[in-house]
């Protein structure tokens, strides 16, 4: 692992079981080993290629009615890389089938001077904002360095 890389990210949801109906297929698509345990407190989902984790916690019962607000102090959104541009379109179609809602895109956004930035934005069941992004220069650099292993990125091959 590289110094400074993320080890894990943890989110809190109002209902862990319901949230996993959205997050399990989404994380599996992205290459995570989804925690299928019946745990009532947390699910730890590990990414096979990076070793990072995306943890999903059950909210304190007193706070389950609270909703995420993107422009309140704190977290703004979570962005996931995808290896190919077509994955952005696929995710745009899949998000509603998992219970999420697409808010922007799929489209090209003007967020970088380093090639094309193609993304789709959505909200999960608790209003958390997520982004799935493909960057042409990033894909080029990773392919040149031999860091994209097609088997790890292809969600259909499991």
pLDDT tens digits, residue range 72-114?
999 999 999 998 999 999 999 999 999 999 999 999 999 877 7
- 26: tokens are 């989404």
pLDDT tens digits, residue range 103-143?
999 999 998 777 899 999 999 999 999 999 999 988 888 78
Averaged confidence pLDDT in the chain: 89
Give the global pTM.
0.86
> CB–CB of 13/125 below 8 Å?
yes
Q: Is 125 exposed, middle or buried (0-12, 13-18, 19+ CB in 10 A)?
A: middle
């Amino acid at each position: 692992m590289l110094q400074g890389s993320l080890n894990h990210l943890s989110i809190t949801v109002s209902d862990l079981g319901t949230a996993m109906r959205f997050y399990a297929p989404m994380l599996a698509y992205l290459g995570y080993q989804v925690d299928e345990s019946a745990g009532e407190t947390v699910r730890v989902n590990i990414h096979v290629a990076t070793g990072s984790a995306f943890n999903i916690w059950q909210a304190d019962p007193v706070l389950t009615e609270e909703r995420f607000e993107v422009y309140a102090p704190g977290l703004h959104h979570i962005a996931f890389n995808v290896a190919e541009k077509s994955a952005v379109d696929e995710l745009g179609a899949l998000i509603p089938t998992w219970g999420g809602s697409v808010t922007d895109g799929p489209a090209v956004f003007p967020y970088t001077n380093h090639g094309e930035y193609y993304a789709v934005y959505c909200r999960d069941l608790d209003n958390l904002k997520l982004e799935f992004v493909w960057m042409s220069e990033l894909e080029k650099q990773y392919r040149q360095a031999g860091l994209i292993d097609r088997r790890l990125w292809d969600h259909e091959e499991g």
